[in-house]
Amino acid sequence: MNLLLTNLKKRLLFVAIILLFLGTQMGFGQNCSVNAGVPETICENTVGFSLSGSAAGLIQSGPIWSQVGGPSVLINDPSDVNTSVTGFVGGNDYTFRLSAVCTDGSTQFQDVVITVQPITIADAGDNIASCPDSSGTLVTNANAPANPGEVGTWSIVGSNNAGVTILDDSSPTTGLNLADTSAGTTTLQWTIRGPDYLPGVFCESTATITVTNTGGVAVVDAGANQTLNNCYTVSQSTNLNGTFGGNGINGQIGTWSFVSGPNTPTISNVNSRNTGVSNLIEGAYEFRWSVSGPCANGEDTVTITVQEATQDISTASVQEDNIRFCDASITTTTLVGSQPQFAGETVQWNQTEGPAATILNPTSSTTQISGLDGSSTYRFTYTITNGTTGCDDTAEVVIRYSTNPITMVANGGNDLLAACGATSVDIPFATTGNGSNTFSIISGPTGSTLIDPNTFSNTGSSPLNINFDVQGTYTVVFRRALTGSIQTGCDEATDAVNVTISLNPTSANAGTDLILSCNTTTADITGNAIGVGTSLWSQVSGPSTATVVSPFERTTTVQDLVPGIYVFQYAISGGNACSPSAESTVEINVSTDAPVVTSAGSAQTICFGTPTQLDATPAPASNLVGTWSVVSPPSAIGVVTFADENDPKTLVSGLDDPNTAYTLRWTVENPVSAAITGIPCPAP
């Protein structure tokens, strides 16, 4: 019974807690800012990768790079904010820290993570040299992809001089066929591509080999015998047509030689299988096609028989051979053919297409055509004939009508805003009337290689697809015009459309926060480098409206600051179709000489030995930190404990002496001031 009463008395004794507040505001802080850039994903085989940092403000030393995470790599110049880094290994994350010491003695730093994607380094194997082979026994010897999700593909780079056929373009050891009608060298590329680590973004490695085909058709043939007509005066000419004999690779080649004939002809190129031969007079000629080399050997002859000469025939031509009228009332036109050059030649005009028209002088080189109906297509042939020799030559002329109005409308007459990230754009267009359609990109953003206002290219059918290369707005002009020898004024229709390309912008990083000393009215802030997009600094909040001197620059000065906390936003836009990147903000805390307004809370009376919660007012600014401490009694120092000495509402324990007044202090101060020397803001 006595023991119970004793314990009860102990529980009813009280402990008094007296709470004090001490506030100090020093005039120093972090008056510089660093920016380590934004996280990046690169490929293991990326060449020339560089970190992209910056620093602004009052800097005493630095900025300097260090590695704080990932396997060791080489930072080539740590003092260069844009230093190159080498030694990456795929499949790892690397963390780099950019730090600087401000003139107030504080240290600022920021980390950036670089993720390195693995990629198998392509090896295309050894070069290949062979005779023609269609058996598939020639095989490549490339390496297989080694990482999950990778695929390999063979492709031909440039011209296929060796006549290569790839039998399985996804196999590292594919079979190859080499055509016997080709000779030369072809470059094959083995590409290993990794899976997308972002939509449409992947790692890739390439290697090449050369495939050399000696060439040569195994069965040598000089071609079919020929008999040339008698439509010549002095000599005739023709082309030979032997099988392919090679082009000299490894000594594989074919050679023409003259065997016999009434005179010595001229062979244009003795090693060309289809060379021209000239200076052929009446009689029979024999030519030999000899092929030799490591792949094909043999010879064959061909006979060219030339009939007795009669007379050359004049070449027929028409001055305007593609006539187009835009006026349906035009029903008559004049055709002008070439004049006969040799005796005994006559000319003849004949209609071969269209409703019946009248040829006024069908046997004259110049004649009038009448009776055209203003809408149909007409075709006439002009023939020069030698009645004695029977030789002739012909030419053709076409007459068309295009009376419908010519119009061209691109994208319904509206400008086009491509989807975010889209660079391949279809532009529909509609036309009326006859004509051909062309387009030209007459203007666009700086850096585009597509702009050429002096060149018009065929559109093909609607829609026209263009692969744009740079973010910005392009002006594309469409044109519809008639071709041919236009005899009356025909309209030309054009239309222009503005195409705006928006790309996913680089992520934003506004850098580290700043804490400025008393009476400071300016500061420098710095954002990350921009790969895609344009940047804009703007003020989000603050005690006054500050001046952003260069809002579109990566690094800018802000002016007209007064004591208080400012927040500035750094945003990067990739164009109207894309949302801004995740905006980033930086805080500038301008120190004030006004007293700190806060409270340690009300005094409490509690049962001894009982933990209790304190109730101070949090620090009013981000550059200030509150700390709990024990003032009295001295014996309580080191005994009384706080769950979190920087939490204004922390739990306190160790108040174990009854009838004792404990004095606790809540101190709000700038923690940087303890590490530096200087003069605090004037006391109020």
- pLDDT of the residue at 488: 63
Instruction: Give the three-class secondary structure for 309.
Output: coil
Q: What is the C-alpha to C-alpha distance for residues 506 and 525, in angstroms, rounded to an integer? A: 18
pLDDT confidence tier of residue 403, bands split at 50, 70 and 90: confident
Closest CA to 531 of 507, 504, 506, 502: 506
DSSP state for residue 619 in the 8-state scheme: P
Measure the CA dihedral 452/455/460/466, to 10°: -10
Q: What is the mean pLDDT of residues 207-228?
A: 97
Q: What is the mean pLDDT of residues 652-669?
A: 86
Return the higher-pLDDT residue of 573 and 120. Answer: 120
- pLDDT of the residue at 10: 36
β partners of residue 254: 291
Looking at residue 155, its amino acid is S
Provide the percentage of residues in the chain whose pLDDT is more than 90.
71
- At 347, list the tokens: 């000319």
Return the higher-pLDDT residue of 440 and 434. Answer: 440
Provide the percentage of residues in the chain whose pLDDT is more than 70.
91
- At 167, list the tokens: 């039998």
Instruction: Give the three-class secondary structure for 402.
Output: coil
Q: What is the C-alpha to C-alpha distance for residues 194 and 201, in angstroms, rounded to an integer? A: 9
pLDDT, tens digit, 9 for 90 and up, residues 182-199 = 999 999 999 999 999 988
Query: Does residue 633 have a cis bond before it (omega within 30 degrees)?
Result: yes
Looking at residue 183, its amino acid is A
Write down the pTM of the prediction: 0.72
Q: What is the mean pLDDT of residues 313-320?
A: 94
pLDDT at 6 over 90: no
CA 132 to chain CA mean position, Å = 39
pLDDT at 570 over 70: yes
- pLDDT of the residue at 28: 43
Instruction: Give the three-class secondary structure for 93.
Output: strand
Length of the chain: 684
| Secondary structure (DSSP) of 247-272 | BSGGG-EEEEEEEE-SS--EES-TT-
β partners of residue 486: 324
pLDDT, tens digit, 9 for 90 and up, residues 535-546 = 999 999 999 999
Q: What is the mean pLDDT of residues 312-335?
A: 92
What lies within 8 Å, CB to CB, of 86 at 6+ separation is 49, 73, 74, 76
- At 464, list the tokens: 């026209």
- pLDDT of the residue at 80: 97
pLDDT at 674 over 70: no
Instruction: State the Cα angle at 591 between 585 and 592, rounded to 5°.
Output: 135
Query: Out of 390-394, 509-513, 515-519, 587-591, which region has the weakest mean confidence (pLDDT)?
Result: 515-519
CA distances 5 to 8, 145, 228, 274, 639, Å, are 5, 84, 142, 128, 28
Answer whether 175's CB lies under 8 Å from 138's CB. Answer: yes
- pLDDT of the residue at 405: 84
pLDDT confidence tier of residue 140, bands split at 50, 70 and 90: very high
Cβ count within 10 A of residue 314: 19
Q: What is the C-alpha to C-alpha distance for residues 497 and 427, in angstroms, rounded to an integer? A: 9
* CB-neighbour burial class of residue 281 (10 A; exposed 0-12, middle 13-18, buried 19+): middle
The position carrying tokens 């190859």 is 176
| Secondary structure (DSSP) of 318-329 | BSS-EEEES-TT
- pLDDT of the residue at 486: 65
Question: Which backbone phi and psi does 413 adopt, to 5 degrees?
Answer: 85, 5
Average pLDDT, the chain: 89
- pLDDT of the residue at 599: 83
Measure the CA dihedral 508/513/516/522, to 10°: 0
Answer whether 219's CB lies under 8 Å from 298's CB. Answer: yes
Answer whether 572's CB lies under 8 Å from 534's CB. Answer: yes
- pLDDT of the residue at 412: 95
pLDDT at 497 over 50: yes
CA distances 441 to 416, 423, 452, Å, are 14, 15, 6
Q: What is the C-alpha to C-alpha distance for residues 418 and 440, in angstroms, rounded to an integer? A: 18
- pLDDT of the residue at 556: 96
- pLDDT of the residue at 622: 59
- pLDDT of the residue at 623: 58
Return the higher-pLDDT residue of 605 and 584. Answer: 584
- pLDDT of the residue at 148: 95
- At 316, list the tokens: 């027929």
Q: What is the C-alpha to C-alpha distance for residues 327 and 324, in angstroms, rounded to an integer? A: 9
pLDDT, tens digit, 9 for 90 and up, residues 404-431 = 888 999 999 999 999 988 999 999 999 9
The top-scoring range by mean pLDDT among 27-41, 157-171, 632-646 is 157-171
- At 355, list the tokens: 């409703």
Answer whether 155's CB lies under 8 Å from 164's CB. Answer: no
- pLDDT of the residue at 22: 52
Answer whether 569's CB lies under 8 Å from 537's CB. Answer: yes
Question: Which backbone phi and psi does 491 adopt, to 5 degrees?
Answer: -75, 155
pLDDT at 510 over 90: yes
Q: What is the C-alpha to C-alpha distance for residues 454 and 443, in angstroms, rounded to an integer? A: 11
Q: What is the mean pLDDT of residues 428-446?
A: 93
Q: What is the C-alpha to C-alpha distance for residues 559 and 539, in angstroms, rounded to an integer? A: 12
- pLDDT of the residue at 487: 61
Q: What is the mean pLDDT of residues 248-271?
A: 97
DSSP state for residue 104 in the 8-state scheme: T
Answer whether 55's CB lies under 8 Å from 91's CB. Answer: no
pLDDT at 682 over 80: no
- At 141, list the tokens: 């010897």
Q: What is the C-alpha to C-alpha distance for residues 356 and 351, in angstroms, rounded to an integer? A: 8
Q: Which domains does the chain have, with CATH numbers?
A: 2-25+595-675 (no CATH), 38-117 (2.60.40.10), 128-213 (2.60.40), 226-306 (2.60.40.10), 322-401 (2.60.40.10), 407-501 (2.60.40)
Q: What is the C-alpha to C-alpha distance for residues 242 and 271, in angstroms, rounded to an integer? A: 10
Instruction: Give the three-class secondary structure for 230.
Output: coil
Measure the CA dihedral 195/198/199/204, to 10°: -40
Answer whether 665's CB lies under 8 Å from 20's CB. Answer: yes
Looking at residue 571, its amino acid is A
Q: What is the C-alpha to C-alpha distance for residues 226 and 223, in angstroms, rounded to an integer? A: 9
- pLDDT of the residue at 9: 34
- pLDDT of the residue at 531: 86
Q: What is the C-alpha to C-alpha distance for residues 229 and 231, in angstroms, rounded to an integer? A: 6
pLDDT, tens digit, 9 for 90 and up, residues 56-113 = 999 999 999 999 999 999 999 999 999 999 999 999 999 999 999 998 888 999 999 9
Question: Which backbone phi and psi does 11 adopt, to 5 degrees?
Answer: -70, -25
pLDDT, tens digit, 9 for 90 and up, residues 45-72 = 999 899 999 999 999 999 999 999 999 9
Looking at residue 565, its amino acid is I
